Structure formats: C-alpha cells, structure tokens
Structure 1
Amino acid sequence: MTFILAVAVDLTADLDPAQGGPARLRAVRALEAAGADFVTLGEGPGAADSTLGALDVLAKIAPITANIGLVPTVTVARREPVLVSTATATLDYASRGRSGWQAAVDGGDPAGEWERAEALIDVVRELWDAWEDRAVRDEVAERYIDRDRLRYENFLPAEGARGAGAMPRPPQGNPPVVIGVSDTASLDTAARTADVVVLADGAGLTTTDVRSRIVAHGRGALPVRILLSVPYPYPGGDALIARVHTELRDGPLDGLHLRPLSLAGDARGIAHDLIPRLRAEGILGAAGLGSLRRRLGLGAALRPSA
C-alpha cells in the first residue's frame, strides 16, 4: 500500500485575510509539485474565506491544478442531501475526478449529529448512483435525458421527498468520503461509512482502535484508509519521522494528515523538506496520478446493482 500524504490548507492566524487566497493557492501548487496526495479545507471564515465556503474555494482552485486531490469540509447538518450530492459531484467534474469531501458536524449532540450525518452520507451516495450510464446524451435514441435510466431515491423519507439527483454520476462514481475522528461518536460513523478516516492525534484512540472498529462493523475487507492527523512542524523535529516508522511497524497506518501552524511558511517546509525526507526514508513513494480514488488505492466505485 502506498503511503498517503494529505495537508490542511486552512487559513492560519499569521495571515491577513486579504493574503489568504493567494497564500493558499501558492501552498496548493507547491504541495502538488512536491507530490502530496490531497489537501483538505475546513468550513467557515476561520478556515476557508470570509464569503466563500470550502467547496467554493476548492472549485476555484480545481481548474488551475492538475494532479492533487481536493477535499472540502461539508458540515452536513446545514445542508440537504440533494444539495450536497450536487455540489460534491460538481467539484468532481471541475477537478476531473480529483475530489473528495469531509463530512463534519456542528457539535452539541455528537452522537445524534453523527447518526444524522451517516444517514445523509448514505443518501448522497445513492443520489450519485441514481443516473445510469447513457442517461444523458443518448445519441442512438436521440434523447438528451433517458428517464428510464434514472433511479428515484427517497432522499428525505420523513418529508416524502423523492428524486434522482440533479446531475449525472460524478467522474469517480463515488468521490471518497473522509471523516475526522476525535471521539467515539465520530469513530462509529467513520468505521461504518468512511473511505478515509483521519484520526486526530491526542484523541485518546490509536490506529489499531480504528481498524478494530472497522472490522467490527463488517468492513475489514474494504480498503478503508487510516491517516494520523498531526500539527506541522511536529514537536521534537525528527520525532515525526521516527513516529511514522513506529506506526507503520506496529499499527495499521496508511498515511499522515498534516496541519500547518503557518500556511505560508509551513506548506513550503512540507513541500521542500518533509516530503523529500519521507522519500529518502523509503516511507513515501513517487507522486501518484489519476483520480483521487486511484491515488488512495480505493478501486473503482461500483454501482449497487453491479
């Protein structure tokens, strides 16, 4: 399994808001050139932008990047499933199959919110799959949309809402779903639904705990990836390299998610210092190409009927 490297590109406290956009773009380009697999972007003024959400910001970056994966945070309690499915599919088209999305909750009632998030994730996936191949532009039948190739999903059963989604299936079929884990409530939802689990360092859980919960939920045979999320620079300098070696030897670690303390300076440090060192240590391989699912080793997303 190829080691995965992801980096958060949230705005950091050292940046003036007017400098945030250009600094983020420079960071993403430097990380892409160095071979990072994907970037994540949080939601809200403190992370993304004063006026644009994470999806919007990364949609602007998508056409001017070529290889790096783009994973915005979507706070699911604020949105309807059909809107989430449409927005994430749009980003996948804009990035030519390089997008994912990180589901998040507001807090308050963690167990209840994560239960609702899990239900929404399931519906979003159903809506992605609702358009069959050749549902659009069927030249043989001279139709723009073939209604017989649309599957209508009950995406809000309690309200009686039913539909087939607003656009065709994304290029990846199912863009990877990422879930950050910081407690047992988020762990349960991640173990049941996530393609990528990002475990916060200091959460009181280990990568072995995460893998055990994935297996307990009957998903042990699936390629669910586990990343450890740590700040960068990491306390102790070389301690990060040593820790990765230990985690790879003793636990089911698939990669790192780095959180720069200074977006402008630390993203350059990751690109020009840490990534070359990870390669020199034999941890990180050559930069991957293709869709984000392919880079993560998730395989093709088959339709439920396949």
Structure 2
Amino acid sequence: MTPAPPFTGRRRLHLAAALDQRSVYDAGEYLAAARLAERGALDFVTADDGLARPGPDALAVLSRVAPATRRIGLVPTVTTTHTEPFHVQAAVATLDWLSRGRAGWRIEVSATEAEARLFGRRAAAPADALWREAGETADVAARLWDSWEDGAGTRDAATGRLVDRAKLHRVDFTGPAFSVRGPSALPRPPQGHPVRLVDATARPARAVAARYADVVLVRTAHPAQAAEARAELRASAAAHGRNPDDLRVLAALDV
C-alpha cells in the first residue's frame, strides 16, 4: 500500500470503503467502485467474505481489480477457519504480487455449525478458540512470507537454476491446531508483510488484533466508544511488546 506522507505536525486522516455487493457478479461494478475510491484518495477498499456467505470470492474479485488500479490498497476478507494456513498466506502473497505491493488481509473466523458442515472435517468451535487459531495463522503467515530471503529467486540461465535454496528457510511451526514446515511456495511479497486488518468490535478478536493487526476496525458511531476501544487495543499492543503507534484503529461506519 502507499506509505503515509512525511509527518507535518497533523495526524493523517485514514479513509477506506467497503465494496460489498453480495448479489453482483459483474467485475465491472467492482472495478468502477474501486476506481472511484482511488480517485477520491481513499487509503484502501475492503471486500467482505465468509464460507457460507452468498456472492463471489472476495480475494478473486480484488485480484481482478488489482491490475485495473494503481495506488489504492486491496483488502479481502479471508477466513482462517476450515482453511489451510499455507494456502491462505500464499493467496494473500499472490494478491500482493499482482497489485505490486498493495494487498491486505482482513482476518476473520467462521464460527457457525452451518459453515462447519460445508467442510465436514470438524465441528464448530467457540469464538475464543477460533480467534486463538486465527492468531496462529497470522503468526505462521508472517514466518512464511519471511521464509524467502531477498534475492532467493536467481533465474540463472547458465545453470538452469531458478531458486537459490540456501536463501530459502523452513519455518517448522507447530501449534495446537496445525503444523507447517515451509518454506513458502512464493517469493517474499513486495511489501514483505501484506497489511493485516482485524474487525475487533467483538471482544474475542481483540487479543489477535492487538498482537498481529496493522489496522483495526471498531464498528461504532459513538466517539467515546471508539476512544475506549482504541485505548484498550493500544495498551494490549504495548503489553505484547509492540509500539502502539504502529496500530491504526479506525471507526467503521454505515454511511
């Protein structure tokens, strides 16, 4: 995504818009909306998604939008439940390559039994457990993005070698929900770590947001509630050893 301009004594206003159109399957409408947001100098657009949600796949839609835009950030929702962390990170990294460094990832969980039945591999779980798993996915995704050193792709015509294996590294992640050996199948994304976004309106998501997110959404129209959530998230980020100023907390409004 486009970096913020140099600090000039005023805080920068960050704006984004959702491209959610559940009954729309024509790419042209998404392109028009994203281009309008880009002309309006918004920072990024989001596209909602869910395993049982009707409508086109958010990540695929924004992959179509990527080559038709040049500056605006593209943030699809990708659930971490019933999906494989290796595939999730590869999909987000692919969008970052297609957009030349403008990809984000809204981390979400799928908590309903109906969604679990779509896959049939496990039953639905409590929100707290699902968000702990989402945090592990965010952690292993970052490790996989870093598993390729810069310059690991050699494309050496003389030797026929495409990759310098000495610059690829296993992540060997093992957690309660899954294990991932690595390395990633793709080179490190242009941004290094695509921007991670969490809707932390619900409290089970806040620990993951404070620890792993770059941008946090809080759905409220009341400034006092937004300020309270921001203070809580910043304090939690500091407790995890992060600089609270690295966390952007945005109010999500229906306009």
Compute the TM-score of the two structures, normalised by the length of structure 1. 0.68
Matched, 1:3 2:31: no
**Residues in 1 aligned to 2:38 and 2:84: alpha-carbon distance in whole angstroms:** 32
Aligned partner letter, 2:206: L
Q: How many equivalent residue pairs?
A: 226
Task: Please give the residue correspondences for 1:267-306 in structure 2 after superposition, counting only pairs within 5 Å.
Answer: none
2:148 to 99, 113, 131: 131
Partner of 2:171: 153
Contact 2:30 2:65 in 1 (8 A): no
**Residues in 1 aligned to 2:39 and 2:250: alpha-carbon distance in whole angstroms:** 21
CA shift, 1:188, in A, is: 1.1
Contact 1:82 1:155 in 2 (8 A): no
Partner of 2:187: 168
Contact 2:86 2:180 in 1 (8 A): no
Partner of 2:60: 56
Relative to structure 2, which stretch is displaced further, 209-218 or 86-95? 209-218
**Residues in 1 aligned to 2:85 and 2:65: alpha-carbon distance in whole angstroms:** 24
Relative to structure 2, which stretch is displaced further, 209-218 or 120-129? 209-218
CA shift, 1:223, in A, is: 1.2
Question: SS state of the match for residue 153, structure 1?
Answer: coil
Partner of 1:121: 138
Matched, 1:37 2:43: yes
**Residues in 1 aligned to 2:58 and 2:250: alpha-carbon distance in whole angstroms:** 21
C-alpha root-mean-square deviation of aligned residues, in Å? 2.4
Contact 1:38 1:70 in 2 (8 A): yes
Partner of 1:243: none
Matched, 1:17 2:21: no
> Structure 1 stretches of 5 or more lacking a match?
233-306
Partner of 1:193: 212
**Residues in 1 aligned to 2:131 and 2:59: alpha-carbon distance in whole angstroms:** 21
The 1:62–1:46 alpha-carbon spacing in structure 2 relative to 1, beyond 3 Å, is: farther
**Residues in 1 aligned to 2:51 and 2:162: alpha-carbon distance in whole angstroms:** 40
1:183 to 191, 202, 216: 202
**Residues in 1 aligned to 2:179 and 2:240: alpha-carbon distance in whole angstroms:** 30
Contact 2:168 2:183 in 1 (8 A): yes
Question: SS state of the match for residue 107, structure 2?
Answer: strand
**Residues in 2 aligned to 1:222 and 1:128: alpha-carbon distance in whole angstroms:** 23
User: Whose relative contact order is higher, 1 or 2, with alpha carbons under 8 Å and at least 6 apart?
Assistant: 1
Contact 1:92 1:171 in 2 (8 A): yes
> Structure 2 stretches of 5 or more lacking a match?
1-10, 112-124
CA shift, 1:207, in A, is: 2.1
Matched, 1:210 2:210: no
**Residues in 2 aligned to 1:202 and 1:210: alpha-carbon distance in whole angstroms:** 18
Contact 1:136 1:145 in 2 (8 A): yes
Deviations 1:142-182 (A, max 9, x none): 43111111001124566664120111000000011101112
Contact 1:74 1:104 in 2 (8 A): yes
Aligned partner letter, 2:90: T
Aligned partner letter, 2:77: T
Q: Identity over the aligned pairs, expressed in percent? A: 37
Contact 1:11 1:46 in 2 (8 A): no
Compute the TM-score of the two structures, normalised by the length of structure 2. 0.80
CA shift, 1:216, in A, is: 2.9
Deviations 1:177-215 (A, max 9, x none): 101112221111111111111112179653222222222
**Residues in 2 aligned to 1:59 and 1:125: alpha-carbon distance in whole angstroms:** 21
Relative to structure 2, which stretch is displaced further, 210-219 or 106-115? 210-219
**Residues in 2 aligned to 1:60 and 1:89: alpha-carbon distance in whole angstroms:** 15
The 1:202–1:188 alpha-carbon spacing in structure 2 relative to 1, beyond 3 Å, is: farther
Relative to structure 2, which stretch is displaced further, 159-168 or 31-40? 159-168
Aligned partner letter, 1:86: A
Contact 1:103 1:177 in 2 (8 A): yes
Question: SS state of the match for residue 163, structure 1?
Answer: coil
Question: SS state of the match for residue 11, structure 1?
Answer: coil
Partner of 1:26: 32
Aligned partner letter, 1:168: P
